[in-house]
């Protein structure tokens, strides 16, 4: 009975508490803006204490601002006495009570203050903002990385497909007899037995020859790769092995050599081209005639020339260039070709004293029917020391094939200067200059683009001319030709055909003089 009575009393007290009005401590949230320190709320209300961080305009700092008041039943849905309000830019918190009058006077809700000044409002941003920014940044970086890897792979795949396509076009050679390689065949016989178009041997024959090459020794190394002395069936040949980075040069040189009617006495004799490779390595070969005397650059360092030898070297070199520059019309015609890297190192010397033009990795072809200049996609540029003024000052008209021919003639003028320096003044007179490269006294050994630009374009300097050249008609004629070849104005330079005619006349005069020379 006693327990039941106590329980009844408690229920009565709870009922009275929920049905009676409550007096709350009021500060900053009093009804009707009253400032009497208390407020009376109807039954079911709560007293609350809230704290919020606000910006003090006088000190420009964040300070806590506390408010007290009544929370009627119809507002509990907004403030929700659960400890924290809906998230805001600044921290806020609330505490509520309803058990006693003025119970909220001593409520002290806690909040987390904003980080100290220096971080500012940015430091108070929701951390999720940083997470989103980081995620977006990482995603963008990943996409860029995937694109770069994909691009690199496609480039590699394209290169491998191109090589395999070249190999597949050549087929799989069988025995020598099946592909026209009888055991007694020599290279000259094979070339004579070819199609006669002058475009080189059939690809199957080229591949067979390349597989039978026996390397002997390295004879030179350059920017493009390395040249080896090799043997094929007892015959000596030169094998040019290209660096893997010079794939474009190999393709271009192979295309040029296999051009219809390309074969000429003063163009390096082309024999075969092939690509060997599997897995991680690729070897690009170009097989040509071999000449013991090497390049004109090497020959001039070790030999002096009489007038007949000098004119023969100069004449045969320009005959090779003239053949390149000339377009041959017909069903099996030859396009006009410009070399773009004429220099003494790209001219070879035969045993008979004549010269041949080599290295066509930068050559361009001209299609007169479509008026198109075929320029290979090659990152290589010509040799800076031999660059024409219009190349150095970047005024070369790349759409005009005649411009490229003029560039060749400028470089030929410098080569002619190298030959003339090593030519004797007269018979039995050993007076001549030491071998030097053009502009040896004006620029460093390995001149930069700007070095050559300053000398050739700004100062308009040309190689020095020894006074002894004026005392001899042969040397004087050679000087006149070279000076007209390296003219500053491309349009004023001599053409290859014009130089060929002038030197042919000079060669004829020298031969006649030798024939009529008295013998003592």
Using one digit for the tens of pLDDT, what is the confidence trace for 118-129? 444 444 556 677
Residues 6+ apart with CB under 8 A from 379: 248
Give the tens place of pLDDT for each residue, 155-183: 777 766 666 565 555 444 444 444 445 55
223 pLDDT exceeds 60? yes
**Co-location of 200 and 298 in the same domain:** no
Residue 335, domain extent: 293-520
Taking the C-alpha atoms of residue 465 and residue 472, their distance in angstroms, rounded to an integer, is 13
Residue 507 bears catalytic tag: no
**Co-location of 166 and 203 in the same domain:** no
With pLDDT > 90 as the criterion, what percentage of the chain qualifies?
Answer: 41
Please report, to the nearest 10 degrees, the dihedral formed by the alpha carbons of residues 20, 25, 30, 35 taken in order: 130
Residues 6+ apart with CB under 8 A from 420: 310, 469, 475, 478, 479, 482
Select which of 74, 265, 289, 341 is catalytic: 341
368 within some domain = yes
**Co-location of 63 and 156 in the same domain:** no
pLDDT of residue 266: 96
Interval 35-49 mean pLDDT: 79
**Co-location of 355 and 303 in the same domain:** yes
pLDDT of residue 140: 93
34 pLDDT exceeds 90? no
More confident call, 54 vs 500: 500
Give the tens place of pLDDT for each residue, 436-472: 999 999 999 999 999 999 999 999 999 999 999 998 8
More confident call, 396 vs 14: 396
More confident call, 115 vs 135: 135
**Co-location of 362 and 495 in the same domain:** yes
Give the tens place of pLDDT for each residue, 379-392: 677 899 999 999 99
pLDDT band at 276 (very low <50, low <70, confident <90, very high): confident
Encoded tokens for 412: 């030929």
Q: Which of 129, 115, 113, 102 lies closest to 37 in space, CA to CA?
A: 102
The secondary structure of 38-98 as a DSSP string is: EEEE-TT-EEEEEEEEEEETTTTEEEEEEEEEEE-GGGHHHH-SSS--S--SS-EEEEEE-
Kindly report the number of other CB atoms within 10 A of residue 395's CB atom: 12
Q: Domain boundary at 100, 115, 130, which?
A: 115
The CATH number of the domain holding residue 63 is 2.10.60.10
The CATH number of the domain holding residue 252 is 3.30.200.20
Please report, to the nearest 10 degrees, the dihedral formed by the alpha carbons of residues 460, 463, 464, 466 taken in order: -140
For 252-257, which contacts have Cβ atoms below 8 Å and span 24 or more sequence positions? 252/360, 252/361, 252/362, 252/363, 252/376, 252/378, 253/286, 253/359, 253/360, 253/361, 253/363, 254/286, 255/376, 256/337, 256/360, 256/363, 256/365, 257/200, 257/286, 257/360
pLDDT of residue 31: 67
Taking the C-alpha atoms of residue 474 and residue 502, their distance in angstroms, rounded to an integer, is 12
């Amino acid at each position: 009975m006693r327990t039941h009575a106590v329980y009844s009393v408690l229920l009565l007290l709870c009922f009275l508490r929920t049905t009676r009005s409550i007096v709350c401590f009021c500060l900053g949230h009093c009804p009707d803006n009253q400032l009497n320190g208390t407020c009376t709320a109807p039954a079911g209300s709560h007293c609350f204490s809230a704290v919020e961080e606000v910006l003090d305009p006088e000190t420009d700092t964040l300070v806590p601002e506390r408010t007290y008041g009544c929370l009627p039943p119809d507002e509990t849905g907004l403030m929700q006495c659960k400890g924290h309000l809906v998230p805001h830019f600044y921290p806020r918190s609330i505490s509520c009570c309803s058990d006693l009058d003025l119970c909220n006077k001593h409520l002290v809700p806690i909040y987390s203050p904003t980080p100290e000044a220096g971080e500012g409002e940015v430091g108070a941003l929701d951390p999720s903002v940083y997470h989103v920014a980081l995620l977006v940044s990482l995603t963008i970086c990943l996409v860029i990385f995937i694109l770069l890897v994909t691009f690199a792979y496609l480039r590699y795949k394209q290169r491998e497909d191109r090589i395999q396509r070249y190999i597949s076009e050549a087929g799989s050679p069988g025995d020598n007899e099946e592909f026209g390689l009888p055991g007694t065949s020599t290279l000259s016989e094979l070339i004579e037995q070819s199609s006669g178009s002058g475009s080189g041997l059939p690809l199957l024959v080229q591949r067979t020859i390349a597989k039978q090459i026996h390397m002997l020794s390295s004879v030179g190394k350059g920017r493009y790769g390395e040249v080896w002395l090799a043997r094929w069936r007892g015959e000596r040949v030169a094998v040019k092995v290209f660096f893997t980075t010079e794939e474009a040069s190999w393709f271009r040189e192979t295309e040029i050599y296999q051009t219809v009617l390309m074969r000429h006495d003063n163009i390096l004799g082309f024999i075969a081209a092939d690509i060997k490779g599997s897995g991680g390595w690729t070897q690009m070969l170009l097989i040509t005639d071999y000449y013991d005397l090497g390049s004109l650059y090497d020959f001039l360092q070790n030999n002096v020339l009489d007038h007949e030898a000098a004119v023969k070297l100069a004449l045969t070199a320009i005959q090779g260039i003239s053949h390149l520059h000339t377009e041959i019309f017909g069903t099996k015609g030859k396009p006009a070709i410009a070399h773009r890297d004429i220099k003494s190192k790209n001219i070879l010397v035969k045993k008979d004293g004549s010269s041949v033009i080599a290295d066509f990795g930068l050559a361009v072809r001209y299609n007169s029917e479509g008026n198109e200049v075929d320029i290979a996609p090659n990152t290589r540029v010509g040799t800076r020391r031999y660059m024409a003024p219009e190349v150095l000052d970047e005024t070369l008209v790349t759409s005009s094939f005649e411009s490229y021919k003029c560039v060749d003639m400028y470089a030929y003028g410098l080569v002619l200067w190298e030959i003339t320096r090593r030519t004797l003044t007269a018979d039995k007179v050993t007076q001549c200059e030491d071998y030097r490269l053009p502009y040896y006294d004006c620029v460093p050994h390995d001149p930069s683009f700007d070095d050559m630009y300053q000398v050739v374009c700004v100062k308009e300097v040309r190689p020095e001319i020894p006074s002894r050249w004026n005392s001899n008609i042969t040397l004087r004629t050679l000087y006149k030709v070279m000076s007209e070849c390296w003219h500053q104005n491309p349009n004023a330079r001599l053409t290859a055909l014009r130089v060929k005619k002038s030197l042919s006349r000079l060669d004829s005069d020298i031969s006649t003089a030798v024939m009529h020379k008295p013998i003592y």
